[in-house]
Amino acid sequence: MFMFNGSGVAIVTPFKGSNIDLEGFKALIEFHLENETQALIVLGTTGEASTVSHEERVQIVKTAVEVAGGKIPVIVGTGSNSTEAAVNYTREAEALGADGALVVTPYYNKATQKGLIAHYTEIANSTKLPIILYNVPSRTGVNILPQTVAELAEVDNIIAIKEASGNISQILEVKRLVPNSFKIYSGNDDQVIPIYSCGGHGVISVSANIIPKEMQQMCKAFMDGRVSEALDLQLKYKKLIDYLFIEVNPIPVKAALNEMKFISNQLRSPLTVLEEGNLEKLRSEMKTQNII
C-alpha cells in the first residue's frame, strides 16, 4: 500500500460563523493541487477535528474527496480515545472515498503499550484503508514505543507513522526495527530534514498550509540527493515555522491564512485568535518571506 512521499498538508478547517466554510475549503484544496502538495490530511489536529460534528465530518471528507478528484490522496483523521468510535470513523472515511486514515493514539484515558497494539489492530482489521499511526505525546499523554511500532508494522495495512514526539533517538530506533517498506513522516515542521536523515519519507505539515510549494521543494531536494539545498530551505523557514507554533496549533496558521486572504480568522472555542503581539511577529516574517 502506497501513500505518498514528500509534503502532505495537515489542512485547516475554515469556518464561517457556526458553519464550515466549504467554499473557502475548496479554494484551499485547489491551492494545494496547484502547488505540488502530495497529500491532503483532513480532520487532524490542525483541522480542529475535536470540535467538528459528525455531520460536518461527512461534509469535509466528501468535499475533500470530490475536489481532490484522485489527483492526490485524501487521508482522514479517524482517531479517538474510544476504539469503537475510531473503528466507526475509519469505516465511514472508507465509505466516503478516502485513500487512507491517520489514527492518533488514544488521549486522556491513554493506554498501555499492550492496549495500543489491541486498539490499532482492531481498527486496521475493520478496514481496507492503509493506516498511518500518529504519535504526538505532547497532546495525548501517551508515547508509542519503537517496539510497539515494530509489532504494529506487521499488520498488513498499518503502513506508516507520523512521528511528532520530537525524539530523534526514538525515531532512529523505529527505523531500525521496522521493514524498509514502512514509512516515517515527520510530524514536526522543524524536523523534516533531520527525520529524512533518519530514513524518513516526508512530512505531514502545518506550514504547508501557507508555503506548500516550498515544503515540497525541501522534501524533493533531499529525495533527489541535494541535501545542502534541502537543509538551506529548512533553515530559511525555521523562523516562520517557529512563529506558526508561537501559540497552540492551529491558532497561528489560521491567522496566517487570513493574512493571505484565503479564509476568515475563526476558530472554535476553546481556541481563541492569535494575540496581537504574536500576530505582528508572524506577519513580519511572512512579509520577509514574500508570502504577503
Residue 158 lies in a domain: yes
Residue 45 lies in a domain: yes
Average pLDDT of the chain, as a whole number: 97
Active site residue 243: no
Whether omega before 250 lies within 30 degrees of 0, making that bond cis, reads: yes
- CATH of residue 87's domain is 3.20.20.70
| pLDDT at 23 (0 to 100) | 97
Residue 11 lies in a domain: yes
Cα separation of 181 and 47, whole Å?
Answer: 28
| pLDDT at 151 (0 to 100) | 98
% of the chain at pLDDT higher than 70:
100
Question: How many domains does the chain contain in total?
Answer: 1
* Residue 245 pLDDT greater than 90, yes or no: yes
* Residue 1 pLDDT greater than 70, yes or no: no
Model confidence at 2, pLDDT cuts 50, 70, 90, reads confident
| pLDDT at 160 (0 to 100) | 98
| pLDDT at 3 (0 to 100) | 83
Active site residue 196: no
Give me the domain span that covers residue 80. Answer: 6-213
| pLDDT at 259 (0 to 100) | 98
| pLDDT at 180 (0 to 100) | 95
Report residue 11 as a C-alpha cell.
489542512
Mean pLDDT for 93-120 is: 97
Residue 119 lies in a domain: yes
**Does the pTM exceed 0.95?**
yes
Residue 157's Cβ-side half-sphere holds a number of Cα atoms within 13 Å equal to: 18
Residue 55 lies in a domain: yes
DSSP conformation letters of the chain: ----SEEEEE----EETTEE-HHHHHHHHHHHHHTT--EEEESSTTTTGGG--HHHHHHHHHHHHHHHTTSS-EEEE---SSHHHHHHHHHHHHHTT-SEEEEEPP-SS---HHHHHHHHHHHHHT-SS-EEEEE-HHHHS----HHHHHHHTTSTTEEEEEE-S--HHHHHHHHHHS-TTSEEEESSGGGHHHHHHTT--EEEESGGGT-HHHHHHHHHHHHTT-HHHHHHHHHHTHHHHHHTTSSSTTHHHHHHHHHTTSS-----TT--PPPHHHHHHHHHHHHHTT--
> Residue 179: what residue type?
P
Residue 234 lies in a domain: no
Mean pLDDT for 171-192 is: 98
Residue 224 lies in a domain: no
Is 159 flagged in the annotation as binding?
no
Catalytic hit among 26, 108, 120, 134: 134
Mean pLDDT for 88-92 is: 98
Mean pLDDT for 174-200 is: 97
Is 204 flagged in the annotation as binding?
yes
Residue 282 lies in a domain: no
* Structure confidence by residue, pLDDT tens digits, 220-231: 999 999 999 999
| pLDDT at 141 (0 to 100) | 96
* Residue 52 pLDDT greater than 80, yes or no: yes
Catalytic hit among 89, 120, 162, 185: 162
| pLDDT at 267 (0 to 100) | 98
